[in-house]
């Protein structure tokens, strides 16, 4: 199957369409694809969208190259404000961020995310970097989960440590999640697009990327996936979207599939 | 009477750091981390440090763990950003060699905020009750009742470091500092800590600060020592002055992943009398190419 775009470019376009004109989004480390999605949205249907680019503190970064570190101060190029960490944490607690991009080293059926440890916490098989801002999935409006891989070691039946809470334990979630917070509402991986629109908030396949199918995505997932009734291929980027993505990504990082 | 200069050598300034000290360093990820001061801690052979990292960092913690300087780490995010997991941190935790206080970004930030403001503790809405953090850190997360609403809330304790290390682009001899990367949380960590050591790329006259006081990012009143440290954030970046040295970071990561960080420390840190000495051994053309004024 021949495509004139990469899966990364497809993902950026898919993310862009999920964003709204009145969103205030935040994205963290290793996030070229969501970054491109945010900037594409600003240049198409969401000119009033604001976004924070990770540790650089940049609001509305227009950096001329995609650098490998979100915390790189070069991301301040073209930005309108350098956000101190105090502001970022205030925005996270109060739900001013309408969208927060998060990820994990394990993600389970209900969108719970683990960044701490694989295996027994006291004697981990893999020690992760830590929880950072994942608890804020209970206080920002919508959590978009973004991962760069998709395999049964990442998508597990139950995470070994809950850093960020998804939709399991609905009574606890109702008691402790902030009233405006919806938890994980969207997940994108290199294989497909998912939501949590099931009665029990379990992860559901909404569309699969080129070369994939319901069966192939299920085979790479460590739990039984729900499937949307209208599941189908992830819509390809339009010519206009692709042109803008390649202006943002002049160095071709996404095109190379990074 | 003369105003007293705070300018010292790194060794003089860091003589203040005792074994077992609770220590914090400024910066975010690989930007503005006071690496020259951290390397001097390795040279001095300080032991049993309790590390309070800013909420997203890693290289300096990984280096101190490899140098056997560390007893305990407060963890929000310890990693090498685009290079992935921090190898020495990961190995030490998996082997049970260091103590961990398992926390996150707001817990460290507001713990420092509490210390900076003299508050007995900070209180959060109960979002942490949806995570496993209170289960593994019951000494940090205490569920209490909001006296105004009767709802459950979570209290976290203050964090007061003994020593705070911060790197900036410019400082004067009285401790005023200017970060060209803007404010991240240096204002809070300097207020939270008992003793502050500032390193700077360049020592400038106080008139530079008084000409533009709204630009000063660290007021000298909070600072105890000033150290002149050109390339003091190397191999990380100093915003507005130089970028990070990618090949050197990759080299570090290779040493660290193969558990040979001691060889790295011998080559670049322990066998050098001072950080000037270390920086002088890096290829000058490569260093110059990292500088923004070289472009």
Among the partner residues B105, B136, B183, nearest to A89 by beta-carbon distance: B105
Contact of B159 with B193, CB cutoff 8 Å: no
pLDDT higher than threshold 70 for residue B295? no
Residue B125 has its nearest CB partner, among A69, A93, A173, at A93
Domains of chain A (ranges, CATH numbers): 7-248 (3.40.1080.10)
Of chain B, the percentage scoring pLDDT greater than 70 comes to 100
Cβ contacts of B146 on chain A, cutoff 8 Å: none
Average pLDDT of span B103-114: 98
Of the residues A113, A131, A165, A169, the best mutation for testing chain B's interface (the one with the most B CB atoms within 10 Å of its CB) is A131
**Taking Cα atoms as reference points, which of A142, A134, A135, A146 lies closest to residue A183?**
A142
For residue A221, the tally of other CB atoms under 10 A from its CB is 24
Q: Is it the case that residue B246 has pLDDT exceeding 50?
A: yes
Q: What's the DSSP call for residue A115?
A: -
Whether A73 sits inside 8 A of B240 (CB atoms) is yes
Please say whether the beta carbons of A201 and A170 come within 8 A.
yes
How much is the average pLDDT of B169-197?
96
Measured in degrees and rounded to the nearest 5, phi and psi for residue B163 equal -135, 140
Q: Looking at the predicted structure, is the pLDDT value of residue B257 above 70?
A: yes
pLDDT of A1 > 80? The answer is: no
Say what angle helices B87-94 and B246-257 make with each other, to 10 degrees.
Answer: 20
Residue B247 clears pLDDT 60, i.e. is over it: yes
Sheet holding B122-124, edge to edge: B122-124, B152-156, B142-145
Q: What is the 3-state secondary structure (H, E, C) of chain B?
A: CCCCCCEECHHHHHCCCCCCCEEEECCECCECCCHHHHHHHHHHCCCCEEEEECCCECHHHHHHHHCCCEEEEEECCEECHHHCECHHHHHHHHCCCCEEEECCHHHHHHHHHHHHHCCCCEEECHHHHHCCHHHHCCCCCEEEECCCCCCEEEEECCCCCCEEEEEEEEECCCCCEECCCCCCCHHHHHHHCCEEEEEEEEECCHHHHHCCHHHCCECHHHCCEEEECCCCCCCCEECCCECCCHHHHHHHHHHHHCCCHHHHHHHHHHCCCCHHHHHHHCCHHHHHHHEHHHC
Nearest residue in B to A73, CA atom: B239
Q: Which residue of A has its CA nearest to B182?
A: A82
Angle between helices A32-42 and A239-248 (to 10 degrees): 120
B116–chain A Cβ distance below 8 A for any pair = no
- Verify whether the Cβ–Cβ distance A73 to B181 is below 8 Å: yes
- What are A11-25's pLDDT values in tens digits? 999 999 999 999 999
CA-nearest residue of chain A to B109? A86
Residue A258 scores a pLDDT above 60: no
Spell out which residues of chain A touch residue B24, defining contact as CB-CB under 8 Å.
Answer: none
Quickly state the pLDDT bin for A248 (edges 50, 70, 90): very high
DSSP state for residue A138 in the 8-state scheme: G
Domain residue ranges of chain B, discontinuous segments joined by +: 7-102+160-294
Which of B29, B103, B240 lies closest to A69 in CB terms? B29
Task: Determine whether domain B7-102+160-294 maps to CATH 3.40.50.300.
Answer: no
Tell me how far apart the alpha carbons of residues B36 and B62 are, in angstroms, rounded to a whole number.
15
Task: Note the pLDDT tens digit of each residue in A129-174.
Answer: 999 999 999 999 999 999 999 999 999 999 999 999 999 999 999 9
Q: For residue A188, what are the β-bridge partners?
A: A146, A193
pLDDT tens readout for residues B284-293? 999 999 998 8
Q: Is the peptide bond before A252 cis (omega within 30 degrees of 0)?
A: no
Confidence of residue A257 (pLDDT cuts 50, 70, 90): low
3-class secondary structure, A50: strand
- Would you state the pLDDT for residue B278? 84
pLDDT digits (tens, 9 = 90+) for A75-84: 999 999 999 9
Of the pLDDT bands very low, low, confident and very high (cuts 50, 70, 90), residue A2 is low
Mean pLDDT for the stretch of residues B152-156? 98
A28, A30, A55, best to mutate vs chain B, most B CBs in 10 Å: A55
Q: CB-CB: which of A115, A121, A123 is closest to B136?
A: A121
Q: Among A66, A102, A130, which would you mutate to test the B interface (most chain B Cβ atoms within 10 Å of its Cβ)?
A: A130
By Cβ distance, the residue of A29, A84, A135 closest to B127 is A135
């Amino acid at each position: 199957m021949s495509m004139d775009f990469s899966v990364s470019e497809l993902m950026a376009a898919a993310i862009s369409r999920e964003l709204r004109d009145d969103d205030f989004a935040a994205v963290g480390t290793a996030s070229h694809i969501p970054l491109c999605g945010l900037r594409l949205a600003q240049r198409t249907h969401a000119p009033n969208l604001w976004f924070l680019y990770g540790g650089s503190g940049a609001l509305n970064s227009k950096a001329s190259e995609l650098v490998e570190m979100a915390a790189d101060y070069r991301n301040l190029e073209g930005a309108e404000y350098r956000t101190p960490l105090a502001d970022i944490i205030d925005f996270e607690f109060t739900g001013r961020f309408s969208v927060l991009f998060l990820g994990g080293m394990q993600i389970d059926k209900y969108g719970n995310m683990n960044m701490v440890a694989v295996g027994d916490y006291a004697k981990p098989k893999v020690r992760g970097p830590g929880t950072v801002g994942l608890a804020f999935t209970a206080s920002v409006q919508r959590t978009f989960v973004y991962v760069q891989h998709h395999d049964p070691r990442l998508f597990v039946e139950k995470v070994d440590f809950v850093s960020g809470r998804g939709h399991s334990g609905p009574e606890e979630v109702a008691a402790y999640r902030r009233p405006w917070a919806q938890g994980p509402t969207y997940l994108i991986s290199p294989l497909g697009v998912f939501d949590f629109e099931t009665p029990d908030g379990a992860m559901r396949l909404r569309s699969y990327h080129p070369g994939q199918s319901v069966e192939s995505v299920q085979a790479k997932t460590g739990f039984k996936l729900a499937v949307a009734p209208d599941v189908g291929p992830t819509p390809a980027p339009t010519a206009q979207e692709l042109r803008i993505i390649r202006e943002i990504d002049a160095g071709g990082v996404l095109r190379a599939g990074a | 009477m003369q105003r007293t200069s705070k300018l010292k050598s790194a060794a003089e300034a860091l003589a203040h750091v005792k074994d077992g000290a609770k220590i914090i360093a400024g910066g975010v990820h690989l930007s503005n981390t006071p690496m020259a001061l951290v390397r001097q801690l390795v040279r001095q052979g300080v032991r049993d440090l309790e590390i309070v990292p800013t909420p997203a960092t890693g290289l300096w913690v990984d280096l101190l763990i490899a140098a056997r300087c560390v007893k305990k780490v407060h963890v929000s995010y310890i990693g090498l950003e685009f290079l992935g997991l921090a190898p020495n941190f990961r190995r030490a935790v998996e082997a049970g060699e260091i103590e961990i206080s398992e926390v996150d970004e707001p817990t460290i930030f507001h713990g420092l905020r509490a210390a900076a403001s003299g508050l007995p503790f900070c209180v959060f809405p109960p979002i942490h009750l949806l995570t496993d953090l209170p289960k593994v850190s019951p000494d940090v997360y205490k569920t209490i009742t909001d006296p105004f609403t009767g709802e459950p809330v979570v209290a976290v304790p203050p964090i007061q470091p003994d020593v705070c290390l911060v790197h900036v682009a410019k400082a004067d001899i009285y401790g005023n500092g200017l970060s060209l990367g803007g404010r991240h949380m240096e204002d809070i960590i300097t207020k939270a800590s008992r003793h502050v050591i500032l390193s700077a790329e360049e020592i400038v006259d106080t008139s530079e600060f008084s000409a533009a006081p709204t630009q000063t990012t660290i007021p000298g009143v909070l600072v105890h020592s000033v150290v002149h440290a050109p390339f003091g954030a190397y191999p990380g970046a100093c915003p507005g002055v130089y970028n990070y040295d990618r090949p050197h970071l990759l080299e570090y990561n290779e040493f660290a992943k193969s558990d040979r960080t001691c060889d790295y420390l011998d080559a670049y840190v322990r066998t050098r009398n001072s950080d000037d000495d270390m920086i002088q051994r890096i290829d000058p053309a490569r260093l110059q190419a990292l500088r923004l004024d070289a472009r």
